[in-house]
């Protein structure tokens, strides 16, 4: 008897962009966990909140090897608590918050846990699908049919989020599961990428640049070429096929 497992290759890139002075994005590549955080709160608060979220997930990563999506949600809930505690203890950090979009990949299944307006995308068969809903006021208006996607894309208030880690004691985490296929590319990114590049442009880069590390570098470079108005971060998980291995009897 043999089992099959997908072989995963991951890479990440982050850049301050061309306008901001500091980078308040953070990411985590700690298989089986991959995540991105986009901090907010000015001064050092934003970077602190994003870093705390990623540290909390990193500390849970070893346990998540044998866990399910519910455990990933618990890790985000723990991160929320850690950010609120740190903000409570230091006036300079008061009001800090962060988005968090995380993927736990076990076997063929990717569990996505998500708060805020960072995104998870899946490229399959050359087509890009957004896996997460932005928790931004503008995106909610689009979902309710009150604003066109075209108007939302250039709306001055498009980065205002109504859900984040660090804002409320109770945080509602969106989840979804995706069964992965060989050839899939799972992308996590901050809005500094998705606001600068249309989905079609992101898809084109992912179709054109096969190597994982070069692909994330290309995405960041393209976002900078488009203006780099915000910090840009991308984590890419490539599903490179299946490895055959004998099961231990
Ligand atoms: Ca951002």
pLDDT at 1: 39
Ligand 1 centroid from CA 190, angstroms: 6
Q: What is the mean pLDDT of residues 105-128?
A: 96
Give the pLDDT band (50/70/90) at residue 4.
low
Ligand 1 centroid from CA 72, angstroms: 23
Q: Supply the pTM of this predicted model.
A: 0.94
Least confident residue range of 8-12, 40-44, 173-177, 201-205: 40-44
CA-wise closest residue to 100 among 152, 15, 149, 27 = 27
pLDDT at 42: 72
CA-wise closest residue to 165 among 95, 229, 224 = 95
pLDDT at 249 over 50: yes
Q: What is the mean pLDDT of residues 150-155?
A: 89
Ligand 1 centroid from CA 159, angstroms: 7
228 C-beta neighbours (distance < 10 Å), count: 20
CATH architecture of 2-245: 4-Layer Sandwich (3.60)
* 63 Cβ neighbours under 8 A, 6+ residues apart: 71
CA-wise closest residue to 118 among 136, 137, 101 = 101
pLDDT at 231 over 80: yes
Q: What percentage of the chain's residues is helix, strand, coil (to nearest 5)?
A: 35, 35, 35
Give the pLDDT band (50/70/90) at residue 44.
confident
CA-wise closest residue to 231 among 10, 68, 47 = 47
Do residues 208 and 200 touch, judged by C-beta distance below 8 A? no
Give tens-digit pLDDT for 153-172.
889 888 899 999 999 999 99
Ligand 1 centroid from CA 191, angstroms: 5
pLDDT at 133: 97
Ligand 1 centroid from CA 39, angstroms: 7
Do residues 231 and 192 touch, judged by C-beta distance below 8 A? yes
Ligand 1 centroid from CA 194, angstroms: 9
Q: What is the mean pLDDT of the chain?
A: 93
**Domain locations in the chain as residue ranges:** 2-245
Give tens-digit pLDDT for 57-79.
999 999 998 888 999 999 999 99
Ligand 1 centroid from CA 208, angstroms: 25
pLDDT at 68: 87
Q: Give CA–CA dist 165/53, Å, rounded.
A: 8
Taking the C-alpha atoms of 143, 146, 150 and 151 in order, what is their torsion angle to the nearest 10 degrees?
Answer: -130
Ligand 1 centroid from CA 244, angstroms: 40
Ligand 1 centroid from CA 192, angstroms: 5
- Label residue 210 exposed, middle or buried (CB < 10 Å: 0-12, 13-18, 19+): exposed
Ligand 1 centroid from CA 146, angstroms: 24
The secondary structure of residue 247, as a DSSP letter, is: P
Give tens-digit pLDDT for 207-218.
999 999 999 999
């Amino acid at each position: 008897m043999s089992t099959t497992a997908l072989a995963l290759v991951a890479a990440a890139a982050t850049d301050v962009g061309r306008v901001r002075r500091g980078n308040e994005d953070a990411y985590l590549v700690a298989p089986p966990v991959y995540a991105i955080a986009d901090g907010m709160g000015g001064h050092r608060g934003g970077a602190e909140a994003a870093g705390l979220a990623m540290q909390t997930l990193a500390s849970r990563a070893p346990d998540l090897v044998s866990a399910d999506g519910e455990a990933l949600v618990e890790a985000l809930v723990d991160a929320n608590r850690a950010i609120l505690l740190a903000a409570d203890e230091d006036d300079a950090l008061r009001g800090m918050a962060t988005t968090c979009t995380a993927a736990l990949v076990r076997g063929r299944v990717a569990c996505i846990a998500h708060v805020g307006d960072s995104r998870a995308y899946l490229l399959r068969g050359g087509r890009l699908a957004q896996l997460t809903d932005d928790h931004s006021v503008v995106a909610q208006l689009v979902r309710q049919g009150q604003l066109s996607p075209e108007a939302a894309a250039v709306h001055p208030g498009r980065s205002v989020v109504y859900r984040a880690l660090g804002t409320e004691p109770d945080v509602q985490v969106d989840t979804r599961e995706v069964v992965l296929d060989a050839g899939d590319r799972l992308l996590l990114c901050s809005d500094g990428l998705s606001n600068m590049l249309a989905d079609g442009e992101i898809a084109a880069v992912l179709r054109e640049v096969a190597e994982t590390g070069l692909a994330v570098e290309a995405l960041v470079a393209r976002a900078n070429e488009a203006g780099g108005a915000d910090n840009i971060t991308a984590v890419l998980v490539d599903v490179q096929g299946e490895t055959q291995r004998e099961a231990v009897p």
